[in-house]
């Protein structure tokens, strides 16, 4: 596919750069990581999207995860039309808030009470405030490679050593804020234990993605989550699972249901709104009773529980609760991951391909033979140059992926054998191109 077929996308992006930083409203959309301008999308249907130049793609971005039913699902559209007809926002309670809360609590038993907010970042920020208040402690422990939104205290990177004080990873994040966050490697329970021992009585909470999705898809190693749970209990530290991405994706009840490990607090987003801006945090009733107006921990939001978001979330979860839906998603994701690994092997390109529920990961590993990515350092050694070539070729062959190596792929209930075979044909050509560098 020649570059002139992206002409209108180019024109629109050029104009956008005069209006918005980098021409986008979220950095990874820019395409800088793959050496390409973003395609500008016009509409989506099912597993497919169409750009402003009329090019069609099988979509594995799916709005970065929320669209587990695919684009413009009929039940979601009907629910949204009905909600729009009755009013777009009230700032007062609606019945739909009760209904969605009941679905969430049914799916995620550790969430005895839930509070809706508008974004995953807001959910995490609120959960951390609650954890500090409930524990009477100030310090937060996180894992390197796990992303929890752009909350100041979590935009940190590790210093020297396996377990270290956080340092700011973005201008505008003060040293004093960042120093209240400690950092350990993901999938290293020994480092967690060492940090607790080094800072007795100081750590309010440990927050992690139980299934990491923001360094690419990296599942927890066997026993890791339970060890972390046990360590948190032993040291009086609250455990927060950030399931904004993996919630309703790796299992109906999230990673905590899949692995049988219960956190004290959980953050949800993406799927919970069915493509609308919606997120939530919740957990044990005794903790959640400390949230205003029931308790002293203040958190509020004008658009929290917005009727459109509640409608989109309800329509989506009703479909996900139907028998066989999660199993079908997982089956197709496994089929695709295995097919990608086979095509990479055919081309002689080392990759690590994995799937979990309806999430996939594909790393262009640096060494020879089969490799496993277990934490951030493994991911950082991957061949981003090969991924960039692969991404551009996949785009040219009608498959849209996240424009960065360190992102997860997502499938929907509308990705079927037709879409998988289209993807694998495109991947054969794309791996052949990647093998040249």
Q: Are residues 367 and 273 in the same domain?
A: no
Is residue 34 within 8 Å of 404, Cβ to Cβ?
yes
Q: Identify the pLDDT of residue 69.
A: 98
When pLDDT is averaged across residues 357-385 and rounded to a whole number, the result is 86
pLDDT(154) > 90: no
**Is residue 227 a part of any domain in this protein?**
yes
Q: Are residues 108 and 175 in the same domain?
A: yes
Q: Are residues 229 and 158 in the same domain?
A: yes
When pLDDT is averaged across residues 229-238 and rounded to a whole number, the result is 98
Q: Are residues 167 and 203 in the same domain?
A: yes
- The per-residue pLDDT for range 118-147, each reduced to its tens digit, is 999 999 999 999 999 999 999 999 999 899
- The per-residue pLDDT for range 273-327, each reduced to its tens digit, is 999 999 999 999 999 999 999 999 999 999 999 999 999 999 999 999 999 999 9
Catalytic pick among 242, 264, 378, 396: 242
Q: Identify the pLDDT of residue 1.
A: 43
Give the angle 401-26-256 at the CA atoms, nearest 5°. Answer: 70
Q: What is the CATH number of the domain that holds 401?
A: 3.90.1150.10
Catalytic pick among 6, 57, 60, 147: 147
Q: Identify the pLDDT of residue 3.
A: 55
Catalytic pick among 51, 142, 259, 270: 270
**Is residue 66 a part of any domain in this protein?**
no
State yes or no: cis peptide before 300, omega within 30 of 0.
no
Q: Are residues 299 and 391 in the same domain?
A: no
Q: Are residues 281 and 360 in the same domain?
A: no
**Is residue 67 a part of any domain in this protein?**
no
Annotated catalytic residue 32: no
Annotated catalytic residue 190: no
Q: Are residues 139 and 174 in the same domain?
A: yes
Q: Identify the pLDDT of residue 159.
A: 44
- The per-residue pLDDT for range 1-29, each reduced to its tens digit, is 445 689 999 999 999 999 999 999 999 99
**Is residue 247 a part of any domain in this protein?**
yes
**Is residue 69 a part of any domain in this protein?**
no
The share of the chain scoring above pLDDT 90, in percent, equals: 87
Q: Identify the pLDDT of residue 163.
A: 38
Q: Are residues 315 and 332 in the same domain?
A: no
pLDDT(205) > 80: yes
Final residue belonging to a domain, choices 297, 320, 343: 320
When pLDDT is averaged across residues 191-208 and rounded to a whole number, the result is 97
**Is residue 232 a part of any domain in this protein?**
yes
Q: Identify the pLDDT of residue 161.
A: 38
Q: Hey, what's the torsion of the CAs at 241, 245, 249, 255, to 10 degrees?
A: -20
Spatial distance between the Cα atoms of 398 and 90, rounded to a whole number of angstroms: 42
Final residue belonging to a domain, choices 320, 339, 364: 320
Q: Identify the pLDDT of residue 166.
A: 56
User: 336 exposed, middle or buried (CB, 10 Å; 0-12, 13-18, 19+)?
Assistant: buried
Query: pTM of this prediction?
Result: 0.94
**Is residue 172 a part of any domain in this protein?**
yes
When pLDDT is averaged across residues 222-244 and rounded to a whole number, the result is 98
Q: What is the CATH number of the domain that holds 118?
A: 3.40.640.10
Q: Are residues 158 and 45 in the same domain?
A: no
**Is residue 188 a part of any domain in this protein?**
yes
User: 429 exposed, middle or buried (CB, 10 Å; 0-12, 13-18, 19+)?
Assistant: middle
- For the chain, the domain total comes to 2
Q: Are residues 353 and 222 in the same domain?
A: no
Annotated catalytic residue 242: yes
Q: Are residues 229 and 206 in the same domain?
A: yes
Q: Identify the pLDDT of residue 375.
A: 84
Spatial distance between the Cα atoms of 69 and 72, rounded to a whole number of angstroms: 8
Per-residue pLDDT band at 167 (split at 50, 70, 90): low
Q: Starting at the edge strand that comes first in sequence, how are the strands of the sheet with 56-59 ordered? A: 41-45, 48-51, 56-59, 399-400
Q: Are residues 313 and 333 in the same domain?
A: no
Final residue belonging to a domain, choices 303, 320, 337: 320
| Structural domain boundaries enclosing 199 | 74-320
Spatial distance between the Cα atoms of 204 and 423, rounded to a whole number of angstroms: 45
Per-residue pLDDT band at 43 (split at 50, 70, 90): very high
């Amino acid at each position: 596919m020649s570059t002139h077929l992206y002409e209108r996308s180019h024109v629109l992006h050029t104009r956008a750069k005069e209006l918005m930083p980098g021409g986008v409203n979220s950095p990874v959309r820019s395409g800088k990581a793959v050496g390409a301008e973003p395609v500008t999308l016009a509409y989506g249907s099912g597993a497919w999207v169409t750009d402003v130049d009329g090019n069609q793609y099988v979509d594995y971005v799916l709005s970065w995860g929320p669209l587990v039913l695919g684009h413009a699902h009929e039940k979601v559209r009907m629910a949204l039309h009905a909600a729009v007809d009755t009013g777009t926002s009230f700032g007062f309670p609606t019945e739909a808030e009760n209904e969605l809360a009941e679905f969430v609590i049914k799916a995620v038993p550790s969430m005895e009470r839930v509070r809706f907010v508008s974004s995953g970042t807001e959910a995490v920020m609120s959960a951390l405030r609650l954890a500090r208040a409930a524990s009477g402690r100030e310090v937060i422990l996180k894992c390197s490679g796990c992303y929890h939104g752009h909350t100041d205290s979590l935009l940190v990177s590790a210093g020297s050593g396996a377990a270290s004080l956080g340092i700011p990873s973005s201008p505008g994040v003060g040293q004093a804020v960042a120093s209240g966050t400690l950092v350990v490697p993901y999938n290293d329970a020994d480092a967690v234990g060492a940090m607790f021992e080094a800072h007795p009585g100081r750590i309010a909470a440990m927050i992690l993605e139980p299934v990491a999705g923001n360094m690419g898809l990296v599942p927890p190693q066997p026993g890791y989550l339970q060890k972390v749970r046990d360590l948190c209990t032993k040291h009086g530290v609250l455990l927060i699972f950030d399931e904004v991405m993996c919630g309703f994706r790796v299992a109906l009840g999230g990673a905590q249901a899949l692995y049988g490990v219960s956190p004290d607090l959980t953050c949800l987003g993406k799927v919970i709104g069915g493509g609308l801006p919606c997120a939530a945090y919740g957990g044990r009733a005794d903790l959640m009773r400390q949230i205003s107006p029931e308790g002293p921990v203040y958190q509020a939001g004008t658009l929290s529980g917005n009727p459109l978001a509640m409608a989109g979330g309800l329509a989506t979860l009703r479909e996900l609760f139907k028998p066989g839906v999660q199993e079908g998603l997982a089956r197709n994701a496994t089929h695709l991951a295995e097919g990608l690994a086979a095509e990479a092997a055919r081309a002689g390109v080392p990759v690590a391909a994995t799937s979990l529920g309806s999430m996939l990961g594909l790393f262009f590993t640096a060494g020879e033979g089969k490799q496993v990515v277990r934490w951030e350092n493994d991911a950082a050694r991957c061949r981003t140059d090969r991924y960039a070539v692969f991404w551009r070729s996949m785009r040219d062959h009608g498959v849209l992926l996240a424009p960065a190596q360190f992102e997860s792929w997502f499938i929907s209930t509308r990705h079927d054998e037709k879409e998988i075979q289209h993807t694998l044909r495109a991947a054969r050509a794309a791996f052949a191109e990647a093998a040249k560098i």
